[in-house]
Amino acid sequence: MNNFIFQNPTRLIFGKGMIAELNKAIPADKKIMITFGGGSVKKNGVYQQIQKALQGREYIEFWGIEPNPAIETLRKAIALGKEHSIDFLLAVGGGSVLDGTKLISAGLKYDGDAWDLVKKGAYHDTVPMGSVLTLPATGSEMNSGAVISCHETQEKYPFYSNYPVFSILDPETTFTLPPHQVACGLADTFVHVMEQYLTTPGQSRLMDRWAEGILKTLIEIAPKIRENQHDYNLMADFMLSATMGLNGFIAMGVTQDWCTHMIGHELTALHGLTHGATLAIVFNGTLRTLRQQKKEKILQYGERVWGITGENEETRLDKTIEKTASFFQSLGLSTRLSEENIPDTTILEIERRFNERHAAFGEAENVNGAMARKILENCK
Amino acid sequence: MNNFIFQNPTRLIFGKGMIAELNKAIPADKKIMITFGGGSVKKNGVYQQIQKALQGREYIEFWGIEPNPAIETLRKAIALGKEHSIDFLLAVGGGSVLDGTKLISAGLKYDGDAWDLVKKGAYHDTVPMGSVLTLPATGSEMNSGAVISCHETQEKYPFYSNYPVFSILDPETTFTLPPHQVACGLADTFVHVMEQYLTTPGQSRLMDRWAEGILKTLIEIAPKIRENQHDYNLMADFMLSATMGLNGFIAMGVTQDWCTHMIGHELTALHGLTHGATLAIVFNGTLRTLRQQKKEKILQYGERVWGITGENEETRLDKTIEKTASFFQSLGLSTRLSEENIPDTTILEIERRFNERHAAFGEAENVNGAMARKILENCK
Please write the tens of the pLDDT for every residue from B200-225: 999 999 999 999 999 999 999 999 99
- Whether B360 contacts chain A with CB within 8 A: no
Between helices B295-306 and B313-330, what is the axis angle to 10°? 60
- pLDDT for the residue A359: 84
Given the DSSP bridges, would you call strands A32-36 and A59-62 parallel, antiparallel or unpaired? parallel
Q: Which residues of B306-331 are buried (b: 16+ CB within 10 A; e: fewer)?
A: bebeeeeeeebbebbbebbbebbeeb
State how far the Cα of A192 lies from the Cα of A195, in Å rounded to an integer: 5
List B residues 155-184 in contact with A (Cβ-Cβ < 8 A).
171
- pLDDT for the residue B143: 97
Q: Do B1 and A232 touch (CB under 8 A)?
A: yes
Q: Are B142 and B247 in contact (CB under 8 A)?
A: yes
Q: Is the pLDDT of residue B124 over 90?
A: no
Q: Are A129 and A105 in contact (CB under 8 A)?
A: yes
Question: B167 to chain A, minimum CA–CA distance in Å?
Answer: 10
Picking from B80, B287, B85, B261, the residue whose alpha carbon sits closest to that of residue B198 is: B287
CA distances from A4 to A251, B236, B245, B336 (A): 9, 12, 18, 40
Q: Are B220 and B369 in contact (CB under 8 A)?
A: no
Using an 8 Å CB-CB cutoff, list chain B residues near A303: none
pLDDT band at A201 (very low <50, low <70, confident <90, very high): very high
Using an 8 Å CB-CB cutoff, list chain B residues near A22: none
| Residue in A closest to B13 by C-alpha | A5
Q: Which residues of A162-189 are buried (b: 16+ CB within 10 A; e: fewer)?
A: bbbbbbbbbbbbbeebeeebbbbbbbbb
The helix/strand/coil state of B286 is helix
The helix/strand/coil state of A293 is coil
Share of chain B above pLDDT 70, in %: 100
Task: Note the pLDDT tens digit of each residue in A207-261.
Answer: 999 999 999 999 999 999 999 999 999 999 999 999 999 999 999 999 999 999 9
Mean pLDDT of all residues in B118-134: 94
- From the list B1, B13, B171, the residue facing A237 with the nearest CB is B1
- Whether A10 contacts chain B with CB within 8 A: yes
- pLDDT for the residue B122: 86
pTM score > 0.95 for this model? yes
- Whether B213 contacts chain A with CB within 8 A: yes
The helix/strand/coil state of B204 is coil
Question: B211 to chain A, minimum CA–CA distance in Å?
Answer: 9
Q: Is the pLDDT of residue A361 over 90?
A: yes
Question: B71 to chain A, minimum CA–CA distance in Å?
Answer: 31
**Mutation site, B7, B19, B205, B249, interface A, largest A CB count within 10 A:** B205
CA distances from B280 to A76, B50, B258, B269, B332 (A): 62, 34, 14, 16, 10
Q: What is the ipTM of this complex?
A: 0.96
Q: Are A341 and A351 in contact (CB under 8 A)?
A: no
State how far the Cα of A108 lies from the Cα of A83, in Å rounded to an integer: 10
Picking from B134, B227, B131, the residue whose alpha carbon sits closest to that of residue B173 is: B134
- pLDDT for the residue A358: 87
Q: Do A213 and B214 touch (CB under 8 A)?
A: no
Give Cα B372 to chain centroid, integer Å: 20
Q: Are B245 and B216 in contact (CB under 8 A)?
A: no
List A residues 233-272 in contact with B (Cβ-Cβ < 8 A).
233, 236-237, 240-241, 244, 249, 252-253
